[in-house]
């Protein structure tokens, strides 16, 4: 006698659609773009694949398409929200990288109206430099790091290139002693990117310099000018014509006042790269409000509208499947100002009231008790998921924004991506990047 055995379906097996799928029709008409913000997958799927995805719960539990969908994260059999929170906790205390943002000085030769730093005077003295090296030693001794990563910041770090040169030699030697990799980068206004400083930075194993251009000629000079008001465009672009053996990321801080040169500046950078043979890479980011700029009475009109959404979407293309918003939420990522004070975010490194300790006293083996202000340390580490805000917990963008900037969440206000209600803008920006249609 035959038994009528009901086949088990994918739904019976516990599979369901991921809550973090985004989709839109492929502009070229080949199917649908589907991104999964949890797994980080992004592909164009054929119409047949999309049909199978729409009815997958009814498919046999052994259907060959199911492992493919599962690998891409489009279907899941676990609680993704709990997984986000667990990944964030796991990464807050462990990292394969000890990351130091070091400021040789908080002083600067520029007076940019939107800058988030309060510029001071002075430079890092020899004693503080030694304390920085000793702190790096302690962090490498205690962590299980495989790499020491240094970012030179400020202020304008190239005001004192000898500090970068001296500290780099010692930190590279330290990395060799611990048998870990070493890399470094620099954020500079580019005014002092002379041939001699380029050679020094190359010795210091700088692999990337970040320089801002806000437009061409006078457009740039309106916001990126010296303290005395003189422009800087001609000097910076002259320096970019030097032979530069490392990558240079050209950041365009876009406001309503320079948005008209958004495409024009990109072409200018591409042409300059072709002319010089240097690796010059253009990227645009939005000017944002910040307390330091407000205090100095900055008058820069922020960008709003479709271009704002497009620029922010492109700026955050690689934030798919983030484990945490930024390094501030990890114990092994710290900033050090010119006085040896320690911070968890580079946006507050000119404000001593936000320092959690000092390089000579803080002990990473006992991070809480040795901190002068433990709350300034733990607040940042605890700023990521779990987020006890229903709006965030239920939001499809959570694996992408991870609750947003911890500094904003702690001290100003948590902000959502400008394209939150326009996911097509993000998908289209990613599509243009991947298929070279920018």
pLDDT, tens digit (0-9, with 9 covering 90-100), for 346-391: 989 999 999 999 999 999 999 999 999 999 999 999 988 877 788 8
For residue 294, name the pLDDT band (cuts at 50, 70, 90): confident
Q: What is the pLDDT of residues 327-345, one digit of tens each?
A: 999 999 999 999 999 999 9
Q: What is the pLDDT of residues 205-248, one digit of tens each?
A: 999 999 999 999 999 999 999 999 999 999 999 999 999 999 99
CB 170 within 8 A of CB 136: no
Q: What is the pLDDT of residues 155-193, one digit of tens each?
A: 999 999 999 999 999 999 999 999 999 999 999 999 999
pLDDT at 320: 74
Q: How far apart are CA 431 and CA 371, in angstroms?
A: 45
Chain-centroid distance of CA 419 in Å reads 18
pLDDT at 32: 96
Q: How far apart are CA 404 and CA 249, in angstroms?
A: 24
Q: Is 368 exposed, middle or buried (0-12, 13-18, 19+ CB in 10 A)?
A: exposed
Cis peptide before 155 (omega within 30 of 0): yes
pLDDT at 438: 54
CB 423 within 8 A of CB 429: no
pLDDT at 296: 67
Q: How far apart are CA 279 and CA 283, in angstroms?
A: 13
Which range is least confidently modeled, 124-128, 283-287, 429-433? 429-433
Which range is least confidently modeled, 13-22, 210-219, 269-278, 286-295? 286-295
Provide the whole-model pTM: 0.92
Average model confidence (pLDDT) across the chain: 93
Strand partners, 250: 211, 282
For residue 272, name the pLDDT band (cuts at 50, 70, 90): very high
For residue 5, name the pLDDT band (cuts at 50, 70, 90): low
Phi first, then psi, for residue 281 (nearest 5°) are: -120, 120
Q: How far apart are CA 198 and CA 221, in angstroms?
A: 23
pLDDT at 333: 96
Which DSSP string corresponds to 332-388? TEEEE-TT-EEES-GGGTT-GGG--EETTT--TTSTTTT-SSHHHHHHHHTTSSS--
For residue 7, name the pLDDT band (cuts at 50, 70, 90): confident
CB 145 within 8 A of CB 96: yes
Q: How far apart are CA 49 and CA 24, in angstroms?
A: 14
Residue 326: partners with Cβ closer than 8 Å, 6 or more residues away: 345, 405, 406
Reading the block at residue 211, the tokens are 């320089």
Reading the block at residue 342, the tokens are 């320690």
Q: Indicate the SS3 state at residue 87.
A: helix
Phi first, then psi, for residue 300 (nearest 5°) are: -120, 120
pLDDT at 4: 47
What is the share, in percent, of the chain residues with pLDDT greater than 70? Answer: 97
pLDDT at 1: 43
Task: Check residues 292 and 133 and name the one with the higher pLDDT.
Answer: 133
Q: How far apart are CA 227 and CA 155, in angstroms?
A: 13
**Rg of the chain's alpha carbons, rounded to an integer?**
24
Chain-centroid distance of CA 186 in Å reads 14
Of 250, 230, 255, residue with least CA distance to 240: 250
Q: How far apart are CA 110 and CA 119, in angstroms?
A: 10
Which range is least confidently modeled, 148-157, 385-394, 414-423? 385-394
Q: What is the pLDDT of residues 10-63, one digit of tens each?
A: 999 999 999 999 999 999 898 999 999 999 999 999 999 999 999 999 999 999
Return the DSSP state at 414.
-
In order of their start, the domains of the chain are 1-78 (no CATH), 90-384 (3.20.20.70)
CA angle 354, 355, 358 (to 5 degrees): 175
- Helices 161-178/195-203 angle, 10° precision: 20
392 dihedral zone (left: phi>0; alpha: psi -120 to 50; beta): alpha
Is the confidence at residue 396, as pLDDT, over 50? yes
pLDDT at 118: 85
Helix H or strand E segment including 150: strand 147-152
Return the DSSP state at 398.
H
Phi first, then psi, for residue 374 (nearest 5°) are: -55, -35
Residues 305-310, mean pLDDT to the nearest whole number: 90
Task: Check residues 292 and 103 and name the one with the higher pLDDT.
Answer: 103
Strand partners, 34: 23, 43
């Amino acid at each position: 006698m035959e038994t009528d055995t009901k086949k088990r379906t994918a739904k019976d097996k516990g599979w369901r659609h991921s809550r973090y799928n985004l989709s839109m029709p492929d502009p070229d008409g080949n199917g649908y773009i589907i991104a999964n913000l949890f797994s980080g997958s992004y592909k164009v799927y054929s119409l047949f694949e999309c049909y199978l995805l729409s009815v997958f719960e009814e498919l046999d539990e052994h259907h060959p398409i199911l492992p493919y969908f599962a690998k891409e994260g489009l279907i899941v059999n676990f609680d993704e929200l709990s997984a986000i929170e667990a990944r964030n906790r796991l990464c807050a205390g462990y990292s394969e990288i000890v990351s130091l943002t070091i400021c040789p000085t908080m002083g600067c030769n520029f007076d940019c109206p939107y800058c988030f730093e309060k510029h001071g005077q002075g430079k890092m003295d020899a004693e503080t430099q030694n304390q920085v090296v000793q702190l790096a030693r302690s962090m490498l001794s205690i962590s299980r790091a495989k790499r020491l990563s240094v970012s030179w910041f400020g202020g304008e770090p190239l005001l004192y290139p000898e500090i970068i040169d001296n500290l780099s030699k010692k930190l590279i030697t330290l990395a060799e002693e611990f048998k870990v990799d070493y890399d470094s980068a620099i954020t500079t206004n580019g005014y002092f990117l002379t041939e001699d400083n380029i050679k020094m930075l190359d010795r210091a194993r700088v692999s990337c310099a970040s320089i801002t251009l806000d437009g061409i000629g006078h457009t740039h000079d309106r916001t990126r000018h010296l303290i005395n008001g003189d422009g800087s465009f001609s000097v910076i672009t002259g320096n970019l014509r030097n032979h530069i053996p490392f990558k240079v990321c050209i950041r365009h801080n876009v406001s309503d006042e320079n948005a008209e040169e958004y495409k024009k500046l990109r072409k200018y950078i591409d042409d300059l790269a072709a002319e010089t043979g240097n690796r010059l890479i253009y990227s645009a980011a939005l000017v944002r409000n910040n307390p330091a700029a407000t205090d100095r009475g900055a008058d820069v009109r922020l960008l709003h509208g479709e271009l704002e959404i497009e620029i922010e979407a492109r700026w955050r293309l690689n934030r798919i499947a983030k484990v945490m918003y930024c390094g501030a939420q990890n114990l092994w990522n710290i900033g050090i100002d010119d006085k040896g004070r320690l911070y968890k975010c580079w946006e507050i490194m000119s404000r001593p009231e936000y320092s959690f300790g000092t390089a000579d006293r803080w002990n990473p083996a006992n991070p809480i008790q040795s901190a002068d202000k433990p709350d300034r340390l733990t607040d940042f580490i605890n700023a990521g998921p779990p987020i006890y805000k229903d709006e965030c917990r239920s939001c499809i963008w959570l694996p992408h924004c991870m609750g947003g900037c911890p500094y904003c969440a702690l001290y100003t206000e948590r902000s959502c991506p400008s394209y939150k209600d326009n996911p097509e803008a993000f998908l289209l920006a990613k599509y243009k990047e991947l298929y070279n249609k920018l």
